[in-house]
Chain A
Amino acid sequence: MTMQLTVWTYEGPPHVGAMRVATAMQGLHYVLHAPQGDTYADLLFTMIERRDRRPPVTYTTFSARDLGGDTAELFKTAARNAYDRFQPQAMIVGASCTGSLIQDDPGGLARALNLPIPVVTVDLPAYQRKENWGAAETFYQLVRALAGPSAPPPGAKRPPRPPAARPRCNLLGPTALGFRHRDDVTEITALLARLGIDVNVTAPMGASPADLARMGEADFNVVLYPEIAGQAASWLQRTFGQPSTKTIPIGVSATREFVEEVAKLAGIDARSTLAACSTRLPWYSRSVDSTYLTGKRVFIFGDATHAVAAARIASDELGFEVVGLGTYAREFGREIRDAAGLYGVEPLITDDYLEVEARVAELQPELVLGTQMERHIAKRLGIPCAVISAPVHVQDFPARYAPQMGFEGANVIFDTWVHPLMMGLEEHLLAMFKDDFEFRDGAVPSHLGVAQAAPVEQTSVKPAAASAAVPDISVAWAADAEQELRKIPFFVRGKARRNTERFANENGVATITVETLYDAKAHYAR
């Protein structure tokens, strides 16, 4: 199977990944051989991220009539004009999906211009790869081209850091349009400062080409987002002998491990800093109000880094039960499979939104942790949801400080994941007084008055889109059983309906009665 039917996509094309790197940096310009229309990508940055500047991208904007003529000349003119106007320190050149089909060789054309700055070619296979891969490749090509000239001779031993000098690291991976990258960088930079470690270069975010050129001066690298920085970090390791961190500091335990890992790489003692660092998550999670979080069934989907981190927090720090774990990034399938093994769940590695929707409908989790796509799925299915990963939405760039990483990140995560859930006693009251007119399905809170009617909840939880993937239910519901089902609070009713139907199917029950309902309840009791 080659051609793929796509409704919604998790990732854009690879040149959008290159744009995320270029837009995050300073003093870099991207000349993209692309037709009219590809400029839509600018609005991702100016609207979703509310950037106050256009991305530093020049599009050659060729049209059908140029194809018979000289598109190569068009590229050269665009590149020369972009240099004259923006005076960048360095330039990257490449082609979008259509640009690559006309085989004009942007790299060769740009070299022929003899611009007095480094020009880096980024060749992105648009019909094979996607956005994150494009970002990683672009970042790697830039680091190699700009830091490469100051590399020590191969095999040279890295001189030890002078005893008086503070340890220095690079902070790698944050880009434009990243999920909370802005605040993660602030949080981790502050954490490193408390440990006595200086940041040499943060890149791509905020770095200039000149900054990339001095990346070799750091003692080690902190890889915040392996999807974007993994490839560059391993080149830096090979070329400059700089080791990199493996732990992603999302969650309390992971942040503590990260501190220990960093301390080891920096040759410092982190014990006093660790003792002084505090976060509210562990106590909030242990406090009795959180009892109702116990065993909440959670479905997790996102980029691999955020999904794996979320599963660990959900399971170990909040006491949820991970019932599903997946990623849209096939390149990181192994990481997800390993983590899924830890929780005994089937890994879901797909970039087909409908497949994810079908899985959520099938699992009937009580909480979905996902991307903006899963937020839509959860909304349709009436399941609470919190966003943990890119692809991003304007809401993922909050005005307040809201990191995911570090100790403050753990606080943010506690609030973000717990607030969509029904609180403990509230849940019980709803279950007890099901027929109370103010608690009935879809009733609005009484203080909002009766004028506003809430949307009526759908009785069937099967999404239209995913119906083919949900097993055909041939069992019937007796009227009294259907009525009894309605007494179950709506936020768990979908699960109850599905469990009962599955129970009936498995036990050859043709008509579900009130007794079947309670038999199933007993069967699935946890």
Chain B
Amino acid sequence: MNAHVQGCAASSELEARAVRRESGQREVFCGLTGIVWLHRKIQDAFFLVVGSRTCAHLIQSAAGVMIFAEPRFATAILEEKDLAGLADANDELDRIVTQLIARRPDIRLLFLVGSCPSEVIKLDLSRAALRLSQTFSPAVRILNYSGSGIETTFTQGEDACLASLVPAAPPPGSGEDQLLVVGALADVVEDQFVRMFKALGIGPVQFFPPRDSTALPAVGPNTKFLLAQPFLADTARALENRGAKRLAAPFPLGVEGTTAWLRAAADAFGVEDMTFVTVTQPYRARAVRALAPYREKLAGRSIFFFPDSQLEIPLARFLSRELSMRLVEVGTPYLHREHLAQELELLPAAVALSEGQDVDLQLDRCRTARPDLVVCGLGLANPLEADGLTTKWSIELVFTPIQGFEQAADLAELFARPLVRRAKLVT
């Protein structure tokens, strides 16, 4: 890997790289939020949150998802009586699941999703999933994971969901090496990667999660997987426990990240150097051309990341190296040193990294630094704009196709737009 990318920080420096660790008020979503995109991705899955009115209100509010009149998610709201007797709560849950499956015969996979209250009262959803599976299997597979705020931050909900899905994957039928791309991607991005891997002669290639839950990819010692998202610690561990091998790589954001990511697969599948260059070069050149106008707008501008999705470090690497932005502070809710090792090598040595959050202290630092652009959650954006700062909503980075060569410029545009807008408005 290192032969193909020029690191700016030597390994010894990397180990010494200081990371500010904070605990205090966190202005982040909990893992339940992942349901908003996961229920669109896995098209025959239903997500039943077992939680409180707050959980239901969060999912409804987080992304303004009311566009889906009857979505494939719902909340079983715990009431006073459920808290008093867990036996009753289990009966109630069985009743609700039965009602739900009767209403939605199209559902093939049901996730029981744990929440803060269900975990604090120790409602055992894994046992509930086993119990209910006995009734509804094989028509409906029932799994469980936790999206609670006491366990998970925002995108960790996807990690927990995918990790729960790994044991359901069948064993491989043959000894042939296969590539698995792990992490929910926009369909259009998946299709582009399929074409690219095909052109490189890498295959078979499958995606996890699949769009159809009954077509889970096989996982075994012959599986080599590429993480498409940086927040999949538990999923990677579960895959490794099945004998699958992770291909270490930066994440496919920007031209450089996408190239290195594809390169990791190419190396693992013995693709000739010449072939790799021949196949990828036209796409790289086109993406570099598309990025050029954004580079003009963004070069030299300073940027500050509040922690949100764990995408912050790969994004910062892209903005710093391909668009010449200045990194003031890069905050991440959680720093997975192993999965991000290749990313960290590419970051400028001087960047301030922070993990966790004390939002008041971080706001103080941000206001002192007065960066040209602040990447933050929806709760902070308007207050910071009112202070005269320019902001980019971080949630858009999770809900937009940003991976791969063809999306590199779209990704740059997301950062340029707030600055362009600020410049356009008269007052």
Binding site for B on A (CB under 8 A): 1-9, 11-13, 15-16, 35-44, 46-47, 50-54, 58-64, 67, 78, 81, 85, 96-98, 101-102, 125-128, 130, 354, 372-373, 376-377, 380, 463-465, 468
Do the beta carbons of A8 and B52 come within 8 Å of each other?
Answer: no
Do the beta carbons of B149 and A36 come within 8 Å of each other?
Answer: yes
Do the beta carbons of A67 and B120 come within 8 Å of each other?
Answer: yes
B290 located at the interface, meaning its Cβ lies under 8 Å from any Cβ of chain A in the complex: no
The complex places the Cα of A7 from the Cα of B120 at a distance, in Å, of: 23
A51 surroundings in chain B (CB, below 8 A):
382-383
Do the beta carbons of A98 and B116 come within 8 Å of each other?
Answer: yes
Q: Residue A37 contacts which of B58, B70, B96 (CB distance < 8 angstroms)?
A: B58
Q: Residue B149 contacts which of A9, A15, A35 (CB distance < 8 angstroms)?
A: A35
A385 nearest CB across to chain B (Å): 14
The complex places the Cα of A96 from the Cα of B52 at a distance, in Å, of: 10
A498 nearest CB across to chain B (Å): 20
B28 located at the interface, meaning its Cβ lies under 8 Å from any Cβ of chain A in the complex: yes
Do the beta carbons of A46 and B380 come within 8 Å of each other?
Answer: yes
A360 nearest CB across to chain B (Å): 12
A42 surroundings in chain B (CB, below 8 A):
27, 378-380
Do the beta carbons of A43 and B69 come within 8 Å of each other?
Answer: no
Q: Residue B382 contacts which of A11, A50, A97 (CB distance < 8 angstroms)?
A: A50
Known: A53-B386, A126-B53, A127-B80. A61 touches B25 (CB 8 A): yes
Do the beta carbons of A98 and B381 come within 8 Å of each other?
Answer: no
Nearest first, the 8 A-B pairs at minimum CB distance are A37-B30, A37-B149, A42-B379, A52-B386, A3-B92, A98-B116, A97-B52, A43-B378
Do the beta carbons of B82 and A2 come within 8 Å of each other?
Answer: yes
Q: Chain B 377-419, CB within 8 Å of chain A: the 1/0 string?
A: 1111111011000000000000000000000000000000000
Do the beta carbons of B66 and A372 come within 8 Å of each other?
Answer: yes
Do the beta carbons of A39 and B83 come within 8 Å of each other?
Answer: no
Do the beta carbons of B75 and A36 come within 8 Å of each other?
Answer: no
Known: A6-B74, A7-B71, A53-B386. A36 touches B53 (CB 8 A): no
Q: Across the interface, name the chain A residue whose C-beta is closest to B84.
A: A2
Q: Residue A101 contacts which of B26, B53, B121, B383 (CB distance < 8 angstroms)?
A: B121
The complex places the Cα of A44 from the Cα of B57 at a distance, in Å, of: 10
B357 nearest CB across to chain A (Å): 8
A6 surroundings in chain B (CB, below 8 A):
53, 56, 74-77
Do the beta carbons of B79 and A127 come within 8 Å of each other?
Answer: yes
A99 nearest CB across to chain B (Å): 9
A54 surroundings in chain B (CB, below 8 A):
379-380, 383
Q: Across the interface, name the chain B residue whose C-beta is closest to A8.
A: B60
The complex places the Cα of A451 from the Cα of B89 at a distance, in Å, of: 56
Do the beta carbons of A85 and B360 come within 8 Å of each other?
Answer: yes
Do the beta carbons of B28 and A37 come within 8 Å of each other?
Answer: yes
B92 surroundings in chain A (CB, below 8 A):
1-3
Do the beta carbons of B119 and A3 come within 8 Å of each other?
Answer: no
A12 surroundings in chain B (CB, below 8 A):
53-54, 57, 61
Within residues 68 to 106 of chain B, which ones have a CB less than 8 A from any CB in chain A? 69-71, 74-83, 88-89, 92-93, 95-96, 99-100, 103
Do the beta carbons of A39 and B79 come within 8 Å of each other?
Answer: no
The complex places the Cα of A475 from the Cα of B335 at a distance, in Å, of: 63
Known: A54-B379, A127-B80. A38 touches B54 (CB 8 A): yes
Known: A35-B149, A54-B383, A64-B151. A3 touches B25 (CB 8 A): no
Within residues 359 to 383 of chain B, which ones have a CB less than 8 A from any CB in chain A? 360, 377-383
Do the beta carbons of A61 and B379 come within 8 Å of each other?
Answer: no
Do the beta carbons of A40 and B58 come within 8 Å of each other?
Answer: yes
Q: Chain B 292-325, CB within 8 Å of chain A: the 1/0 string?
A: 0000000000000000000000000000000000
Do the beta carbons of B26 and A39 come within 8 Å of each other?
Answer: yes
Known: A4-B77, A37-B58. A78 touches B25 (CB 8 A): yes
The complex places the Cα of A50 from the Cα of B385 at a distance, in Å, of: 11
The complex places the Cα of A354 from the Cα of B121 at a distance, in Å, of: 29
Within residues 26 to 63 of chain B, which ones have a CB less than 8 A from any CB in chain A? 26-33, 52-54, 56-58, 60-62
Do the beta carbons of B60 and A96 come within 8 Å of each other?
Answer: no
Q: Across the interface, name the chain B residue whose C-beta is closest to A354.
A: B70
B24 located at the interface, meaning its Cβ lies under 8 Å from any Cβ of chain A in the complex: yes
B151 surroundings in chain A (CB, below 8 A):
63-64
Q: Across the interface, name the chain B residue whose C-beta is closest to A100.
A: B117
30 residue pairs A–B, Cβ–Cβ below 8 Å: A2-B82, A3-B76, A3-B78, A3-B95, A6-B76, A6-B77, A7-B70, A8-B56, A12-B53, A35-B148, A37-B149, A38-B54, A39-B27, A40-B30, A40-B57, A42-B378, A44-B61, A46-B378, A50-B382, A51-B382, A51-B383, A52-B382, A52-B386, A64-B119, A67-B120, A78-B24, A98-B149, A126-B52, A463-B69, A465-B69
The complex places the Cα of A464 from the Cα of B100 at a distance, in Å, of: 14
The complex places the Cα of A186 from the Cα of B58 at a distance, in Å, of: 32
Do the beta carbons of B153 and A36 come within 8 Å of each other?
Answer: yes
B100 surroundings in chain A (CB, below 8 A):
5
Q: Residue B53 contacts which of A46, A47, A60, A97 (CB distance < 8 angstroms)?
A: A97
B150 located at the interface, meaning its Cβ lies under 8 Å from any Cβ of chain A in the complex: yes
Q: Taking each of B93, B121, B379, B381, which has the highest tally of chain A beta carbons within 10 Å of its own beta carbon?
A: B379
The complex places the Cα of A102 from the Cα of B360 at a distance, in Å, of: 25
A71 nearest CB across to chain B (Å): 10
Do the beta carbons of A128 and B378 come within 8 Å of each other?
Answer: no
A422 nearest CB across to chain B (Å): 24
B149 surroundings in chain A (CB, below 8 A):
35-38, 63, 98
B78 surroundings in chain A (CB, below 8 A):
3, 127
Q: Across the interface, name the chain A residue whose C-beta is closest to B102.
A: A468
Do the beta carbons of B382 and A468 come within 8 Å of each other?
Answer: no
B61 surroundings in chain A (CB, below 8 A):
12, 40-41, 43-44
B333 nearest CB across to chain A (Å): 9
The complex places the Cα of A302 from the Cα of B363 at a distance, in Å, of: 39
Do the beta carbons of A101 and B117 come within 8 Å of each other?
Answer: yes
Do the beta carbons of A2 and B53 come within 8 Å of each other?
Answer: no
Q: Across the interface, name the chain A residue whose C-beta is closest to B116.
A: A98
Do the beta carbons of B382 and A127 come within 8 Å of each other?
Answer: no
Known: A127-B80, A376-B69. A96 touches B54 (CB 8 A): yes
Do the beta carbons of B57 and A9 come within 8 Å of each other?
Answer: yes
Q: Across the interface, name the chain A residue whose C-beta is closest to B30.
A: A37
Do the beta carbons of B24 and A61 come within 8 Å of each other?
Answer: yes
A219 nearest CB across to chain B (Å): 38
B380 surroundings in chain A (CB, below 8 A):
42, 46, 54
A16 surroundings in chain B (CB, below 8 A):
54, 57
A35 nearest CB across to chain B (Å): 4
Do the beta carbons of A380 and B56 come within 8 Å of each other?
Answer: no
Q: Across the interface, name the chain A residue whose C-beta is closest to B83.
A: A127
Q: Residue B32 contacts which of A37, A43, A97 (CB distance < 8 angstroms)?
A: A37
The complex places the Cα of A98 from the Cα of B57 at a distance, in Å, of: 14
A5 surroundings in chain B (CB, below 8 A):
74-77, 96, 99-100
Do the beta carbons of B79 and A2 come within 8 Å of each other?
Answer: yes
Q: Across the interface, name the chain B residue whose C-beta is closest to A391.
A: B60
The complex places the Cα of A96 from the Cα of B25 at a distance, in Å, of: 15
Do the beta carbons of B70 and A46 come within 8 Å of each other?
Answer: no
Do the beta carbons of A128 and B79 come within 8 Å of each other?
Answer: yes
Do the beta carbons of A2 and B57 come within 8 Å of each other?
Answer: no
B425 nearest CB across to chain A (Å): 15
B82 nearest CB across to chain A (Å): 5
Q: Residue B150 contacts which of A39, A44, A64, A377 (CB distance < 8 angstroms)?
A: A64
Do the beta carbons of B52 and A127 come within 8 Å of each other?
Answer: yes
8 other contacts beyond A36-B26, A39-B379, with CB at 8 A cut-off? A2-B88, A3-B92, A5-B74, A40-B58, A59-B26, A63-B151, A96-B54, A126-B54
Q: Across the interface, name the chain B residue whose C-beta is closest to A35.
A: B149
B176 nearest CB across to chain A (Å): 41
Q: Across the interface, name the chain A residue whose C-beta is closest to B70.
A: A465
The complex places the Cα of A5 from the Cα of B120 at a distance, in Å, of: 20
Do the beta carbons of B28 and A98 come within 8 Å of each other?
Answer: no
A373 nearest CB across to chain B (Å): 8
A301 nearest CB across to chain B (Å): 16
Q: Residue A130 contacts which of B53, B99, B103, B360 (CB distance < 8 angstroms)?
A: B53
Do the beta carbons of A102 and B120 come within 8 Å of each other?
Answer: yes
Q: Residue A59 contacts which of B25, B52, B77, B383 (CB distance < 8 angstroms)?
A: B25
Do the beta carbons of A13 and B57 come within 8 Å of each other?
Answer: yes
